[in-house]
A and B are shown apart, each in its own frame.
Chain A
Amino acid sequence: MDFPPLAWQGVVVLVVFGVSLLIATYSTYAERVIAAFLQDRVGPDRAGPFGLLQPLADAVKLFTKEEFFPAGANRALFVFGPCLAMITALMSSAVIPFGNVLQFGDTAIHLQGIEINVGMLYVFGMVSLGVYGIMIGGWASNNKFSLLGAIRAASQNISYEIAMGLALIAVLMMSGSLSLREITFQQASDAPFVWQDIFNWNVMKQPLGFIIFIVCAFAETNRTPFDLPECETELIGGYHTEYSSMKMGLYLFAEYINVFVASAVMSVLYFGGFNFPFQSELRDWLVSSQSLELVTASNIITIVGLLGLFAKIFSFIFFFMWVRWTLPRFRYDQLMRLGWTILIPLAIFNILLTGGLITFGIIK
């Protein structure tokens, strides 16, 4: 049977979906192991070898728990909230270019869900929609603590979106394109100078923008030190106080998927995406010394690049968890002050700086 080319793209979409879920599942395990490591504990080690089956045990626990609806809750929206959180989290990984092209005869498989020329705006839009799941769930719970958590989430997300958008504008000024694939290709380098590859990554040209972006990514994904919407000491559990069983699980899951997507976006925008140092040298060496065909060599480069991108993503996920178990939580007024009076002016300064540097031809 002939397999039409569009069907391959469908397979890629399904694989991206599955990988997002798998990484979110094992993020829960990684979070516990890293927390245990940082706090000098043992961590989960009962279910399976090294506790690797722990996420499975957690899923069984969450599925079999009692489904609880608080009195006076808006039942439809109470169920809709966690679903929405999950949908928006899963939608954003669609445009991330996980790898270059795999060429098999006539079929070329792009390792990317969909390629659209406004990819960055798509991610940004999905991130800005992510807050609805939290807001609706928090409001529908008919609980003052949940409502306060929802309100905090909304104002926090809106405040940090501005700084995030301004940090992105500086990247856009250099790339001249909104397509994530195009931005990745621009960070590749064919120069013979050995470390030129790394210097072509956007983080080298936009160090300030990257710092602003990563701080905003912490705030947008509601991770410590900015997890004020679910601050236990003040709000019990914040927006998911009233949630139990798998609805609670969906909220936690959506958070980990958001962390994965934020890590992927940072790797693509600032850390070269699927490019890795010496990639053109490696390809040339494969072709000349190992006498491989150019197509096969390119496929090998694509696969190594894919693994490289996932290595970058995993280091960012580790960084998220490292920070969570190291830094204490901000106070809410400190959070707002950081967003509005430090990050936004810094981001505007970064735009001016980038503009100046581009005008004088120092970076391009």
Chain B
Amino acid sequence: MSSLFLFLSFVALLSALGVVLAKNPVHSVLFLILTFFTLSGHYLLLNAQFLAAVNIIVYAGAIMVLFLFVIMFLNLNEETEPHKPALAKFAAAIAGGSLLLILVAAMRDIQPEGYNATSFDSQIGMVDKLGLVLFQQYALPFELASILLLVAMVGSVMLGKREVGERNF
């Protein structure tokens, strides 16, 4: 299990670096998809099958398709890429550096507790356990989130509706 973890972490870090370092934005998106896959692998190792599947469906399957969609339309490539001003590069380096600092500062005090093998519930990440927690402890936030998604979907249907007198041909 540990070697699998190391392999997944290695690929995750490598592909995450690829996202940042790739010159071609389409390659960046593909590296990001690979990163999501390795994260799903980590979820599987943590016994969270549902989270792993949903991560693939939502992030790798839907959101990244939209990313790729937009980037393909923009047709960015190395020749047409504008040179960014030095100030933007400087600001980006500062922002990224401070984020790293905050992350390191937050992680520094973490004490890994380990787990008790006898009392550990191996079913903890399964769908039914997750459903019980969502509908008992977090029923209101869950319902609010689902209403938000439904409203967004209805809104998109309304936007796409044919207006009076409109013809498409």
State the Cβ distance, B57 to closest chain A Cβ, in Å.
5
Could you give, for residues 206-233 of chain A, a 1 whenever the CB lies within 8 Å of some chain B CB and a 0 otherwise? 0000000000000000000000000000
- State whether A344 and B153 are in contact (beta carbons under 8 Å apart), knowing that A117-B49, A121-B54, A135-B72 are contacts in the complex: yes
Could you give, for residues 138-169 of chain B, a 1 whenever the CB lies within 8 Å of some chain A CB and a 0 otherwise? 00000000000010010011001110000011
Residue among B24, B33, B72, B126 having the largest count of chain A Cβ atoms under 10 Å: B72
Residues of B within 8 A of A125 (CB): 53, 56-57, 60-61
* CB-based contact A151/B54 at 8 Å: no
Cα A27 to Cα B66 in complex, Å, equals 32
* CB-based contact A341/B30 at 8 Å: no
Q: Which residue of A lies closest to B150 (CB)?
A: A348
* CB-based contact B30/A340 at 8 Å: no
* CB-based contact B26/A77 at 8 Å: yes
Could you give, for residues 330-362 of chain A, a 1 whenever the CB lies within 8 Å of some chain B CB and a 0 otherwise? 010100110011001100100000000000000
* CB-based contact A337/B162 at 8 Å: yes
Is B127 an interface residue when CB atoms closer than 8 A count as contact? yes
Residues of B within 8 A of A151 (CB): 69, 72-73
Could you give, for residues 114-131 of chain B, a 1 whenever the CB lies within 8 Å of some chain A CB and a 0 otherwise? 000000000000110000
Q: Which residue of B lies closest to A131 (CB)?
A: B65
* CB-based contact B157/A340 at 8 Å: yes
Residue among B30, B69, B126, B161 having the largest count of chain A Cβ atoms under 10 Å: B69
Could you give, for residues 49-74 of chain B, a 1 whenever the CB lies within 8 Å of some chain A CB and a 0 otherwise? 11001101100111001101100110
Residues of A within 8 A of B56 (CB): 125, 128-129
Interface residues on B, range: 20 to 34
Could you give, for residues 132-161 of chain A, a 1 whenever the CB lies within 8 Å of some chain B CB and a 0 otherwise? 100110010000000100110011011001
For chain B residues 86-132, which have a beta carbon within 8 Å of chain A? Answer: 126-127
- State whether A333 and B168 are in contact (beta carbons under 8 Å apart), knowing that A77-B26, A340-B156 are contacts in the complex: yes
State the Cβ distance, B26 to closest chain A Cβ, in Å.
6
* CB-based contact B160/A121 at 8 Å: no
* CB-based contact A336/B61 at 8 Å: no
Q: Which residue of B lies closest to A178 (CB)?
A: B127
* CB-based contact A139/B62 at 8 Å: no
Cα A263 to Cα B160 in complex, Å, equals 31
- 6 pairs from A and B in contact (CB 8 Å cutoff): A124-B57, A129-B56, A135-B68, A154-B65, A154-B66, A345-B157
Supplied contacts A151-B69, A178-B50, A337-B160, 19 more A-B pairs, CB within 8 Å: A74-B24, A77-B30, A117-B127, A118-B127, A121-B50, A125-B60, A128-B61, A128-B65, A129-B56, A135-B65, A135-B69, A135-B72, A136-B30, A147-B72, A151-B72, A161-B62, A333-B168, A341-B157, A348-B150
